[in-house]
Amino acid sequence: MKAAILVESKKPLVVANVDLPKKLEYGQVLVKIFYSGICGAQVNEEIDAAKGPDKFLPHLLGHEGSGVVEKIGDGVSTVKPGDHVVLHWRKSKGIQSGTPKYLWNGKRVNAGWITTFNEKAIVSENRLTVIPKDFDMRTAALFGCAVTTGFGVVNNDAKIKIGQSVLIFGVGGVGLNIVQATSMVSAYPIVGVDLHENKINMGKKFGLTHGLIADSNDLNNKIYNIIGSKGADISIETTGIPKVIEQAYELTASDGKTILVGVPNDKISIYSLPLHFEKILTGSHGGDAVPNIDIPRYIRLINQKKMTLENIITHEFNLKEINSAIDLLRSGKAGRIIIKMN
């Protein structure tokens, strides 16, 4: 099968033939991948090595996708051959298997419990959720991370109340879902900050009431003029850039909450005294999502037109073009980018 391999950090992925193991281990599932999303966090943290040197090279990547189950290993009970599934990095029902042992030119290629930058993947049972066969597979790929993380941040981490003011830094694939979920719970105002005007415009289609360009003059005062001098009830930071994290925290009210979705690549400096009283600073781990519970709920909402994922996907590439897709993502000019496998 064809797969995109991270051979060296900060270098293009290598698209090559990779051999599947001859036998599935206990709890493993063989899935034919139809679509894979590209998550900015994985590009930043793993391909661009923001968290430091990669100890597992060479290895496969991708943690949100959709596909069809081809074969199941011993012990698997939640999926069967022919099922349409979402592949997600958050744990769900089922067995957590061992990680697969792929070969590239006769040598081991490392992989986690889920990878999606490959035509077929051996996935741990607890990283799969069955979806209806008539649901759009292209859209379904977003449930692997962008949707479950974005909506989970609002529902589980922020616990936003009606009428609370919300400030969102970074309006990309996850950020757009945060915007939509925030709008659905009737927060106001919902202020989005991004470097790119096209993302601000996209955000307004999903519920932003105000949009600001990140490098505009006197940004903090512009934000205070919208949300009030006390600061935002909830600030959500998705970029992982230390100075932006510090800014988000500063703009949060003394009794408000700052939630870090993006993973910082360096230390941050904040005034911590308010944390001893009512101010909260917390990190999010995938929105604390529970995929087997959350995904069916989102499908119901979409089918009833109470939620939309239309236009979040802005570009589609094939696997051979994956490095061009990653470069486009780095440019900040795209929403969610999808890789079509077949």
The string of pLDDT tens digits covering residues 125-172 is: 999 999 999 999 999 999 999 999 999 999 999 999 999 999 999 999
Q: What is the pLDDT of residue 310?
A: 84
Closest CA relative to residue 25, chosen from 98, 108, 111: 98
Q: What is the pLDDT of residue 165?
A: 98
Q: Which H or E run contains 337?
A: strand 336-340
Enter the tokens of residue 50: 């923001």
Query: CATH 3.90.180.10 region(s) of the chain?
Result: 2-144+312-340
Query: CATH 3.40.50.720 region(s) of the chain?
Result: 146-287
Q: Quote the CA–CA distance of 165 and 214 in Å, as a whole number.
A: 18
Closest CA relative to residue 109, chosen from 121, 95, 96, 91: 121
Q: Which H or E run contains 248?
A: helix 242-250
Q: What are the pLDDT digits (tens) for 29-53?
A: 999 999 999 998 889 888 988 778 8
Residues 6+ apart with CB under 8 A from 143: 64, 66, 86, 88, 129, 131, 291, 295, 298
Judge if pTM exceeds 0.85.
Answer: yes
Enter the tokens of residue 224: 């205070």
Q: Specify the residue for token string 């992989």.
A: 111
Residues 6+ apart with CB under 8 A from 22: none
Collapsed DSSP state (helix, strand, coil) of residue 325: helix
Name the residue type at position 280. Answer: I
Pick the CATH number of 146-287 from 3.30.497.10, 3.30.200.20, 3.30.565.10, 3.40.50.720: 3.40.50.720
Mark the ranges of the chain whose per-residue pLDDT is less than 70. none
Pick the CATH number of 2-144+312-340 from 3.40.50.2300, 3.90.180.10, 3.10.20.30, 3.30.70.120: 3.90.180.10
